[in-house]
């Protein structure tokens, strides 16, 4: 393991603890009987603070990625790595601190921008696992001197995958905005989206190795 990957991993794990600690406090305030759906509406200033906290989180991940990489794709690779580790260890820390989730199929609030994202825990974890695997392979390839630059086709595949997965998180506005029980999660969109990510990565990775 390279020093950059090691320290980005440490950063992601530590940042995940900070994130999970904040969520423990929020759930103690808004869900004292235990977190569950339907969601509760936060109508005071706390929702604005939470939105800006999420924006700050993304800028923190972008900052360490920018400082770690030299090229655009190398920085993107390190962003994927730190994001994936942060996301997965967020759930690991929550499990350790409050014994939640009870199952990887428990529902969670993932993000609030531009609309609240909700899904079973398995959905973001599956995406983050792919991000970690892909980023480690790409970083290793770059360190070996290979030039990783995805062509148009894999970029389109990845973009379609992102759209499908984001839609699966945000389409149920009755659950996210009107405090109703969520509809069954669209697992087929997650599977297709993850599949498109894998295809986009594999095409780009093989192309870079040949180059």
CB 108 within 8 A of CB 118: yes
Tell me, what's the pLDDT at 37? 82
Identify the H or E element spanning 152.
helix 152-170
Tell me, what's the pLDDT at 87? 97
Distance CA 150, CA 142 (A): 13
Tell me, what's the pLDDT at 36? 82
- Tell me how many domains the chain contains: 1
Domain range spanning residue 31? Answer: 3-210
Q: Per-residue pLDDT for the chain (211 aa), expressed as one digit of tens each?
A: 788 999 999 999 999 999 999 999 999 988 888 888 887 777 778 889 999 999 999 999 999 999 999 999 999 999 999 999 999 999 999 999 999 999 999 999 999 998 899 999 999 999 999 999 999 999 999 888 888 889 999 999 999 999 999 999 999 999 888 888 999 999 999 999 999 999 999 999 888 877 6
Distance CA 7, CA 100 (A): 27
Tell me, what's the pLDDT at 211? 61
Number of Cβ within 10 Å of residue 140's Cβ equals 14
């Amino acid at each position: 393991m390279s020093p950059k990957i090691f320290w980005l991993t440490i950063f992601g794990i530590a940042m995940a603890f900070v994130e999970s600690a904040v969520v423990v406090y929020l759930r103690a305030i808004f869900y004292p009987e235990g977190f569950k759906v339907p969601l509760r509406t936060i109508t005071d200033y706390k929702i604005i603070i939470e939105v800006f906290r999420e924006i700050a989180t993304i800028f923190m991940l972008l900052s360490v990625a920018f400082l770690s990489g030299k090229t655009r794709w190398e920085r993107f690779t390190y962003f994927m790595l730190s994001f994936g580790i942060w996301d997965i260890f967020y759930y690991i820390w929550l499990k350790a601190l409050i014994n939640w989730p009870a199952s990887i199929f428990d529902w969670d609030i993932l993000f609030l921008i531009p609309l609240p994202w909700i899904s079973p825990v398995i959905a973001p974890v599956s995406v983050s696992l792919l991000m970690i695997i892909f980023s480690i392979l790409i970083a290793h390839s770059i360190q070996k001197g290979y030039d990783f630059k995805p062509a148009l086709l894999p970029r389109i595949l990845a973009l379609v995958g992102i759209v499908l997965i984001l839609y699966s998180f945000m389409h149920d506005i009755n659950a996210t905005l009107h405090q109703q029980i969520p509809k069954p999660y669209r697992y087929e969109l997650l599977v297709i989206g993850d599949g498109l990510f894998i295809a986009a990565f594999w095409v780009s990775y093989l192309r870079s190795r040949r180059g």
